[in-house]
Amino acid sequence: MSQVDILPPTTPIDFHASTPFSNPPGRRDTPGWCYSCWQGLDDSALVHPKSDPSLVDEQDDEKIFASLPPLLRGHPEIHLRNGIMDASRKAVEREVNAEKAFFVADLGEVYRQHQRWLKCLPDIEPHYAIKCNPDPYVLRLLASLGAGFDCASNGEISQVLNIGGIDPSRILYANPCKATSFIRNAAKMGVDKMTFDNADELYKIARAHPGAKLIVRILADDSKSICRFGVKFGAALEVVPGLLMKARELHLDVIGVSFHVGSGCYDPSIYEDAIKRAREAFDMGSQAGYTFSLLDVGGGFEDARFEAAASVLKCAINQYFPDRSGIRLIAEPGRYYVSRAFSLATNIIARRSKMAENSLEAAASSGSGSDAPSVMYYINDGVYGAFNCILFDHQVVEPYVLSMNRSFHLSGSEPMSLSSVWGPTCDSMDCVCKAVMLPRGLQVGDWLGFDDMGAYTICAASQFNGFELSDVLYTTSKGGEEAREALRRFAGEGHGHGASS
């Protein structure tokens, strides 16, 4: 068995110097900043705000909502770097958890996704699936833009309504199997639209919320999605007539049909079959004596395939619903809005290497030509935290170097080696990347970044083993002034100032 050594730590953020520096390049308005906090960082790699106005606006950061952090300005990369330099300062001051992992969220990206939706699917009203990421800034921004909300529990409904300025009619209670007390409370809060896919649900609703506006959720083909829902939800078409007759018997109002092709749909052509099934369900409604007025096309929208999905949907809707007078179209996008908007910075807190001898050179040579990772890196967030998306959402994450050897610049000629990346807990299941190529010279104290970390990450993170949840810094990148204006207007109307959810 190969000898396993713990490499001597070289922590670039933890050392001292006496030379003061009031305000290093790339950092604004930082009183008390000292040279020792960023000593050795390659300032040629830092972007001065005034040198590129597309990255940082020359205005102060804003405190729009009293209960939320300030909204910064500038490209996320700037704030990833600034966050690393903040960690340097905290390490010098001997703060506990100085190197804590953190997110940077670009609300400008959320705004751009909303405009993209309006352009591609102007006739379909988005109802954001907040289970994907119930971030308080994201909810307020989408509320200010007029979006609706897909809620799956009493807690999510309360979270949305507590923001203020959101009428209950903008909420869809899109959980086909609900607790009776939740149904009763939805009625009390004025939330009427809710889904069902079984007879028992109808009996509960008849008792707890007889005035509900019901939507029958039909089973769709979800074989082309990362996360399939059909095993748990959706009424097969052959049982829909019986459900509708039961609803009539219970004097319940069924107003439409919904489906969901699964989360993370990688073949948008599947929407055509789902729309065809919805047409059949509409006809069944007519036969049962209902006049349906709502079609919910669900979620599954992927950023990279959105235009293709929108094209399939529009063609299918035109084919199967040529006369849409009196029919309202809605959808339940989640990851589409937030996936790309969030990036995560993590610190390498430990490292192990299989070594034939006690030298890095021996470790590198012994690992060459082998399929087994030669270095194990341990970072301060893992699958029990933000990377739960690996377990629950079947995601594959790709690390990249944010800072290495006191520099934000990584040479293209840097030697690489096959590595594995692990989370901070004491559970061996806490593996972020089993095998990934990373620079051979990475050390303890260097930082790794992960993009596309906005969907199904923060929402399911835990504090297992006593590790804290990663904080979020908020910014708006180029073109994000419209997002800020929408938030200012929303706040100016008196909304969004309550306690952060």
305 phi, psi to nearest 5 deg: -115, 20
pTM of the prediction?
0.85
Residue numbers annotated as active site: 426
Same domain, 97 and 121: no
Residue 4 lies in a domain: no
Residue span of the structural domain in which 323 resides: 107-336+480-484
Provide the pLDDT for residue 465.
72
126 and 82 in a single domain? The answer is no
Residues 246 and 349 in one domain: no
Which CATH number belongs to the domain containing residue 172 in this structure?
3.20.20.10
The CATH code of the domain that includes 95 is 2.40.37.10
Residue 155 lies in a domain: yes
In this structure, the number of other CB atoms found within 10 A of the CB of residue 336 comes to 26
Low-confidence ranges of the chain (pLDDT < 70): 1-60, 224-232, 263-266, 355-370, 464, 466, 499-501
Q: Is 17 part of any domain?
A: no
Q: Are residues 311 and 460 in the same domain?
A: no
Alpha-carbon distance of 21 to 341, in angstroms, equals 33
283 and 427 within one domain: no
Phi, psi of 362 (to 5 degrees): -65, -40
Same domain, 280 and 151: yes
Residue 393's pLDDT is what? 76
Is 348 inside a domain boundary?
yes
Indicate if 138 and 193 belong to the same structural domain.
yes
Is residue 224 assigned to a domain? yes
Supply the pLDDT for residue 36: 34
Instruction: Report d(CA 276, CA 289) in Å as an integer.
Output: 20
pLDDT of residue 221: 72
The pLDDT tens digits for 407-427 are 898 888 889 999 999 999 888
Residue 13 lies in a domain: no
Count of CA atoms in the C-beta half-sphere (13 A) of 498: 13
Same domain, 281 and 392: no
Q: Which pLDDT score is estimated for 79?
A: 96
Q: How far is CA 58 from CA 68, 82, 337, 403, 482, in A?
A: 22, 16, 27, 26, 16
Q: What is the CA radius of gyration of the chain?
A: 26
Q: Count of H helices and E strands in the chain?
A: 13, 20
Residues 177 and 323 occupy one common structural domain? yes
Neighbours of 127 (CB within 10 A): 25
Q: How far apart are CA 377 and CA 450, in angstroms?
A: 15
Same domain, 125 and 216: yes
For residues 379 and 324, membership in a common domain is answered with no
Residue 434 forms part of a structural domain: yes
User: What pairing do the DSSP bridges indicate for beta strands 375-379 and 124-129?
Assistant: unpaired
Question: Domain for residue 22, yes or no?
Answer: no
What is the count of structural domains for the chain? 2
Encode pLDDT of 469-486 as tens digits.
899 999 999 878 999 999
Euclidean distance between CA atoms 267 and 166, whole angstroms: 34
* CB contact at 8 A, 97 and 468: yes
Q: Are residues 381 and 451 in the same domain?
A: yes
Q: What share of the chain is helix, strand, coil (3-state, %, to 5)?
A: 35, 20, 45
